[in-house]
Structure 1
Amino acid sequence: MSLKAGDVIEFERRFTKADVELFTKSSRDEGAHHLTPDEKGRLVVQGLLTATLPTKIGGDYNVLARHMNFEFLRPVFTEDTIRCEVTIEENERQETKNRTSIVASFICTNQKQKHVLKGNFSGVILDS
């Protein structure tokens, strides 16, 4: 399936304590707020773990990222379910380079309908 300008892709993910623990090991982002539960027993999800939501498009559509811009708006906690909406803003086929360039924007919203992350990215999709 190819991407076209105007396409909107939506998906969601629920972050767990195991997700944060695994990301802590691989990233070494060991801030106390990622290791010590709050009064409700939740951990704060690393910003870059939250930022993996829009990067899912890269895996699904074989996009090689060129540029990524993230604005972290509020914290995400374990057991939060985050919905990510990605909008393809531009899609330009480059015949001479055998690739398609894309530009996309995204907004991520928690289960309380609060925006937690927004930004944009650009990249290329190489011909197979």
Structure 2
Amino acid sequence: MALKAGDMITFERTFTEEDVELFTRISGDEGAHHLTPDERGRLVVQGLLTATLPTKVGGDYNVLARKMTFEFFRPVFTMDTILCEVIIDQFANQGGRTLITASFSCRNQEEKEVVRGEFSGVIKNQ
């Protein structure tokens, strides 16, 4: 699918305890809230693990990221299902590459925004 400005791409993921455990080992982010369940048996998902949602969309389109910004609003817990909506703001061919900028918003299963931000980068034309 060829992208164009104005397109929306969505991706949904439910975070598991195993996801948090793996990311803890890889990142070294061992805050107590990532290791100790709360009163409902949930772990807090690392912010940067949540931030992989828009990066997955970028990866699907071979975007080489140049800049990413994130604003985190509320915690994400294990077993939360997060929907990420990415809007393509700019998609412009420039020689042997395409410049892309996009904004995104991620909401939990209760429709509450958990993170929003923007990214920009390039796609090498084939």
Mapping 1:1-128, distance limit 5 Å: 1-95=1-95, 98-128=96-126
Which consecutive segments of 4 or more residues in structure 1 shift more than 3 A?
none
Structure 2: gaps of 5 or more residues: none
1:2 CA displacement: 2.2
Rounded Cα–Cα distance in structure 1 between residues aligned with 2:66 and 2:44: 28
The CA deviation string for residues 14-66 of structure 1, in whole angstroms up to 9 with x for no partner, is 00000000000000000000000000000000000000000012210000000
Aligned residues: CA RMSD: 0.6
Counterpart secondary structure, 1:54: helix
Identity of aligned residues (%): 71
Counterpart secondary structure, 1:48: helix
The CA deviation string for residues 104-128 of structure 1, in whole angstroms up to 9 with x for no partner, is 0000000001000000000000012
Rounded Cα–Cα distance in structure 2 between residues aligned with 1:99 and 1:40: 48
The CA deviation string for residues 51-102 of structure 1, in whole angstroms up to 9 with x for no partner, is 000001221000000000000010000000000000000111102xx00000
Q: Is the 8 A contact 1:82 1:109 kept in 2?
A: yes
Rounded Cα–Cα distance in structure 2 between residues aligned with 1:63 and 1:75: 27
Counterpart secondary structure, 1:104: strand
Q: TM-score, normalised by structure 1?
A: 0.97
